[in-house]
Structure 1
Amino acid sequence: MSTQKTKVRIGVDIGGTFTDISIMDARGGIITKKVASTVDNYARAIGEGLAAAFGENALGGADVAELLHGTTVASNAILELKGARTGLITTKGFRDVLELRLLRMPRLYDLLWEKPPALVERSLRLEVDERVDAKGKIVRPLDPAEVEAALDRLLAEKVEAISVCLLHAYVNDAHERMIRDIIRRRAPEMVLSISSEVLPEIKEYERTSTTVINSYVKPVVGRYLKSLTADLKGVGITAPLLLMQSNGGLTPAEVAAEMPVHIIESGPAAGVIGARALARRAGFDKVISFDMGGTTAKAALVENGEVTRAEEYSVGGGIMIGSRLMSGAGYVLKVPAIDLAEVGAGGGSIIAIDAGGAPQVGPLSAGAFPGPVCYDLGGTEPTVTDANVVLGYINPTELAGGAVKLHAEKSRAVLAEKIAAPLGLPVERAAHGAHLVAAANMIRAIKAVSSERGRDPREFALVAFGGNGPLFAAGMARALGIRRVIVPPSAGVFSAVGLLYSDVEYHLSRTYRQRTTALDLPGLVAAWQALEDQAREKLAADGFRPDQIHLRRFAKLHYKGQAYELSVPMPEGPVTEATSARLDQAFGDEHERTYGHRAGPGEPVELVSLNLAATGELDTLRDTGGGMAAATAAPGERQAYFGPEHGWLPTPILGRGHLVGRDRQGPVVIEEYDCTCVVPPGMTARLDPHGNITIDTGIAA
């Protein structure tokens, strides 16, 4: 796959409040555009935003080489339970796997917690009397007449999609293929997912859940992509459309429409990829990416130039943590995804007084409409943005270069009435308290990907982006003991920029269970070769040359008897007798780093599955990251409140260009088109050679 370097590349990221657009021109420069999201039809904001950006920069659809897109349409379908009416055909005795789940409680002592409803209601979960054993031997053949009867019932119920998940189909998929062929013959237009194609791995609930989710969101994603393609053609764009996957790689729209399970967490992934590119270019081995937008805040880890991935995660359960230590709240997806922690804290998060009389922030959000009270679009509840306007951190009259007009007096009035008066506090103290509560909520997400994974956050730099990330990052970093904060150029639309650093990527897997001390070396070599052949075939079909294809092997292992695995890189080079010892060592190291201990040398280690990450490197121009011209306009100034310790302080209002060639001591506020960066007292801001704002939090090394 290649594109002409004279053309532009476009990244589009949809958030709950704003839709962000980044355009990389032929010289590697970045043009950005921020427009309000259209929640009734997200595709419309993309078409409108692109039309406006084209008009402002003398561009047209014919100038576009490729459009890269991160979307929340699939996750929203699950969160709102607005997916397809789905049926399930499964092995006799396994009808209730979706209800039984893993018998894990995310809140152990909360007697009022209820698990979310199954995505397939019980009357639409049908059984067939077949059986394949764990070694792939057919014990009870499948009766086609039974499949026909089950299909008749589902068609009579007017299902929009069907999932098929049979016991041990990951090792022998003959019966699943028989069912697939019958459905294709009888109902050729039916949306269909079979587990041996979606997730050919052991673990019955995870495989069933993942396959069902693929069917559940498939029609929704298909309709969205059809609408988006039409809107893009409306502005003259016929270039390839690539979607961001949960794992941080891109995939062609046609593949995403067929396997939408890989784009469930498409939205948050691009920013992490951008943070990885920033870390590599600026020479940081360890960074935590922190992305705070209008509705949520997300954190992820980048170590040694690589993102950290989870092998499974839950969606639809409140705080989203791809954690091995906490699960059970949402719907499980056993597909590789960037290891994110997400909390309901953003600029639109509503501030309220709880039943105990304490202030709380989120998870409810005012969203893009009606939005914060200061937007004057009908909002009546105070939000984090309103608090930051009162504190003097945000320009009291406008955002996004004047695209959003603000009414600071409305923010002050609603905070005074609904928060300050009940608490008996001055309005600035109440606003500052809400700011700190929001920060504490987001610190939970950072700890979830660092200290809860056995990593010390003090060893990392914090890369802050999103419309609100740079506003909160410095204060949060100081609370965590982090010494350095990095705010990249175009930070407010950085997830859209991050798309421009991504490549096409496929993650393939297959179950392969053996003790490491008794590896079948020829069998292991053959299994790896089959995965690699499949990966090369997929990427070649996408138009990639052999020199653009890069493969990385991983193995999932556990101590024999454990129920959960850890993923480690497969040792480089050919598979030999030494591979066993090297796998044992790598697994022991990862187990100790994650859980704080490792077993003795005699404890048997079991290989569970093989995983392959296959990357197709896009042959396109990347951002060259040049310097920045010094600002010529004089800095402004306004009063900003930094808590009881400092009170109201006269605070310089700068642009990024004011940092060229000199350090700035806090307090300062740096205002840009797409975000605001706050540098509190006692901290120092400067510009690095790549145009990043770097903030020294004043914590001794």
Structure 2
Amino acid sequence: MLPSSELHPGWRVGADIGGTFTDVIALGPAGEVVPMKVLSTPPDFGTGVVTATTAVLDLAGAASSQVTAMLHGTTVATNAILEMTGARTAVVTTRGFRDVLELGRLRRPVLYDLSWVKPVPLARRRHRHELDQRITADGRLTPPVDDPEVRALAARLKVDAIEAVAVCLLNSFLRPDEERRVAELLREELPGVYVTASVDISPQPQEFERTSTATVNAYVGPTVHGYLTRLEEGLRAEGVQAPLLVMQSSGGLLDAGSVSRRPVQIIESGPAAGVTAVRELARLLDLPAVVAFDMGGTTAKASLIEHGEPFVSADYEVGGGMNVARGLGSGAGYPVRTPSIDIAEVGSGGGSVIAVDEAGAMHVGPASAGSRPGPACYGQGGELPTLTDANVVLGYLSPEALAGGRVAIHPDLAAKALSPVAEQLGREVPDAARGAYEVAVSSMTTAVKAVTSERGRDPRDATMVAFGGAGPLYAAALARELGITTVIVPAHPGLFSSLGLLVADTERHEVAPYRPETALQQEFDRLTALVTTELGPDAVVERQLDLRYRGQRFELRVRLDDGEVTEELLAAARARFHAEHERTYGRAGTDDLVELVNLRVRGKLPSGVSIEDVLRLPAGAGRRPSTRECRFGEPVPTPVLGRTDLGPEPVDGPLVIEDMDATTLVPPGARARRDRFHNIVITWSAA
């Protein structure tokens, strides 16, 4: 491997936005690793990114002009949907299909809750319009689009002050030029309005999913475009001239211009960056199965990585609590058909609010105190009790400061915030705090089981890698609950998603539906040309097939080997499909039942940065060991160490291990050591 100075002559900066903190990590030309963690700055999150970037460069002694890559993970698209603050959106479709968003699919996330209400469509009915045209199932136009009708419609949209338009014509994937012509006419008539053609986002069958994807893209488009424009301007004003690359939901980077055209691809931008870092760590440590556990300020997330690759789903939902479209949990959000790492999410984070319901049961989240005002212990005016306040009361977090001293801690305010909860439960404050900790652990098992048990995988066969600002505090307890015996807390755990940005490849995806007349080799050549045109001739291209059994609704994705598409290659792909289907669902069919649905090409431009390059500890990472009282049912004097105080020999818990960006808790009954890559390795005994 070439040294970093030969790979990258300048500085690479990765910046990830969270609900509470903005995390930045810089990698220098001589291998320097400089971390920075600051409070996020809602509603203008970009200000925090610019501030943190200049701060980390000042700390590194580097000039802004030395930055050669600016890499970013953001929640701006997700927040626009969760907070319903996206653009005023219209949908243009074929006559008779105005209500496809409301009809949707007959799926409910909760079978017996009669009060459950379907998500409100992102485009209101009065803003959904029909054109008197039709593309038939065999691709004929009966009739074609009438240009004057489109121009008249544009005039109506202008009167309605529409900010974004999604064009989704019936069967447009068969005649994409027809839909693109409508979109182009609308762009001509509506300058400044964000117009999306569904065939440019998801050129696949199934009208509801394609329409929903295009509508989500249009709804978040102006928000994402404006955010990225302002962020680039802010960085340029500070002298950072490097191109801005944004993390996609699939785990690869994409240039900001392409993201602005297809922002639906970055719905899970931040979480995907963390999983990407775990993927590289799993490859480095040769771990066959890994559960990536990421707990930040607002949510806890889990993903499964097998043999060095995470599951990448073609369908998921956003805005419905848990973002993956699987099983009985689907139907709660807005379907999106773009490649996304399969990540399950629950509303339990450091800033999650603790409450007691009318029946006397304790709940943690999904409401969050965020970064403004934040947990009560931050002393910024927050009064609601949060998990962070509970952790301070329990002694798990420093009673003085977090984030390298940038966030002061006030234990008295934490105890005061938890007092009403304790009174409602009829318990002492420390007992209520411990109860909140255990409730959070129980809640987070849901996310892990969603990516393991529900996929036919046993979580006990996996190693857990814990990161995020709060992940290392809960990982050991969560692992014990699930029967996982080993937990790894990597270096820079609180900034691990930012670290993932530094090692991520630049990536582009293309998809095409399969039709009986499709010449497979010719179609793969066309998709490959699209990818290599964007990424360059050095791109590494992988071909994939979406397969299912006849009569099934959902597909599984498998790899198609390199080389000319022959029956032998297709047979190998079908064999992979049978094996994956049996592993996931417990049964497999025969070749004559297999149907080909979509062709996919993924192009990657390797970053050239190894995970080893960024696992180094910054200078002065040590601390003076001390002892403080922590509660594990009963108060226990607990050693407080720095990461460098651990050696290769295991040390019995309880232990508290403090990094600048996160705190790791080793409970009684567990042991911890530090490996040669500076990972904290926590193990539970068989008992």
TM class by shorter chain equals over 0.9
Paired with 1:511 and 1:256, the residues of 2 have a C-alpha distance of 23
1:534 aligns with 2:524: no
- TM-score norm. by structure 2 comes to 0.96
Evaluate the alpha carbon distance shift between residue 697 and residue 622 of structure 1 in structure 2; reply closer, same or farther with a 3 A threshold. closer
Contact 1:655 1:672 in 2 (8 A): yes
Paired with 2:495 and 2:686, the residues of 1 have a C-alpha distance of 29
1:439 aligns with 2:441: yes
1:144 aligns with 2:147: yes
2:451 pairs, out of 449, 452, 460, with: 449
Evaluate the alpha carbon distance shift between residue 322 and residue 465 of structure 1 in structure 2; reply closer, same or farther with a 3 A threshold. farther
Deviation at 1:142, TM superposition (A): 2.1
1:20 aligns with 2:10: no
Evaluate the alpha carbon distance shift between residue 128 and residue 433 of structure 1 in structure 2; reply closer, same or farther with a 3 A threshold. same
Paired with 2:434 and 2:592, the residues of 1 have a C-alpha distance of 53
Contact 1:387 1:432 in 2 (8 A): yes
Paired with 1:203 and 1:312, the residues of 2 have a C-alpha distance of 12
Write the deviation string for residues 140-184 of structure 1: whole angstroms up to 9, x where unpaired: 222222222222211221211111111111111232132123223
**1:169-184 matches, cutoff 5 A:** 169-184=172-187
**SS of the residue aligned with 2:180?**
helix
1:88 pairs, out of 69, 88, 91, with: 91
Deviation at 1:444, TM superposition (A): 0.7
Contact 2:351 2:388 in 1 (8 A): yes
Contact 1:201 1:510 in 2 (8 A): yes
Evaluate the alpha carbon distance shift between residue 331 and residue 61 of structure 1 in structure 2; reply closer, same or farther with a 3 A threshold. same
Paired with 1:188 and 1:539, the residues of 2 have a C-alpha distance of 30
Runs of 4+ in 1 over 6 A off after TM superposition: 626-632
Paired with 1:222 and 1:7, the residues of 2 have a C-alpha distance of 27
Contact 1:85 1:161 in 2 (8 A): yes
190-199 or 443-452, larger mean C-alpha shift? 190-199
- What corresponds to 2:668 in structure 1? 681
Contact 1:250 1:502 in 2 (8 A): yes
- What corresponds to 1:655 in structure 2? 642
- What corresponds to 2:566 in structure 1? 576
How much identity, in percent, do the aligned residues show? Answer: 46
Q: Residue type matched to 1:595 in 2?
A: Y
1:241 pairs, out of 244, 264, 267, with: 244
- What corresponds to 1:425 in structure 2? 427
2:474 pairs, out of 472, 477, 482, with: 472
1:197 pairs, out of 189, 196, 200, with: 200
81-90 or 243-252, larger mean C-alpha shift? 81-90
- What corresponds to 1:210 in structure 2? 213
Evaluate the alpha carbon distance shift between residue 449 and residue 208 of structure 1 in structure 2; reply closer, same or farther with a 3 A threshold. same
- Structure 2 unaligned blocks of 5 or more: none
Write the deviation string for residues 42-98 of structure 1: whole angstroms up to 9, x where unpaired: 011112212222222212211111110000111111111111111111011101011
- What corresponds to 2:512 in structure 1? 510
Q: Residue type matched to 2:680 in 1?
A: I
1:668 aligns with 2:671: no
1:166 aligns with 2:156: no
- What corresponds to 1:611 in structure 2? 600
Deviation at 1:622, TM superposition (A): 6.1
Q: For this pair of structures, how many residues does the alignment match?
A: 682
339-348 or 323-332, larger mean C-alpha shift? 323-332
Paired with 2:115 and 2:616, the residues of 1 have a C-alpha distance of 55
Paired with 2:142 and 2:95, the residues of 1 have a C-alpha distance of 13
573-582 or 244-253, larger mean C-alpha shift? 573-582
Paired with 1:325 and 1:524, the residues of 2 have a C-alpha distance of 35
Paired with 1:678 and 1:555, the residues of 2 have a C-alpha distance of 43
**SS of the residue aligned with 2:101?**
helix
Evaluate the alpha carbon distance shift between residue 160 and residue 625 of structure 1 in structure 2; reply closer, same or farther with a 3 A threshold. closer
Evaluate the alpha carbon distance shift between residue 167 and residue 658 of structure 1 in structure 2; reply closer, same or farther with a 3 A threshold. same
**1:189-588 matches, cutoff 5 A:** 189-415=192-418, 417-514=419-516, 523-540=519-536, 546=537, 548-588=538-578
Paired with 1:30 and 1:210, the residues of 2 have a C-alpha distance of 39
1:699 aligns with 2:686: yes
Q: Residue type matched to 1:173 in 2?
A: P
- What corresponds to 1:102 in structure 2? 105
Paired with 2:476 and 2:653, the residues of 1 have a C-alpha distance of 11
Contact 2:503 2:608 in 1 (8 A): no
Q: Residue type matched to 1:612 in 2?
A: V
Contact 1:282 1:690 in 2 (8 A): no
- TM-score norm. by structure 1 comes to 0.94
Write the deviation string for residues 254-298 of structure 1: whole angstroms up to 9, x where unpaired: 111111111111111100000011111122121111110111111
Evaluate the alpha carbon distance shift between residue 627 and residue 535 of structure 1 in structure 2; reply closer, same or farther with a 3 A threshold. closer
Paired with 2:51 and 2:71, the residues of 1 have a C-alpha distance of 16
Contact 2:273 2:497 in 1 (8 A): yes
292-301 or 423-432, larger mean C-alpha shift? 423-432
Write the deviation string for residues 397-424 of structure 1: whole angstroms up to 9, x where unpaired: 1111211111112212332x21222222
Q: Residue type matched to 2:377 in 1?
A: C
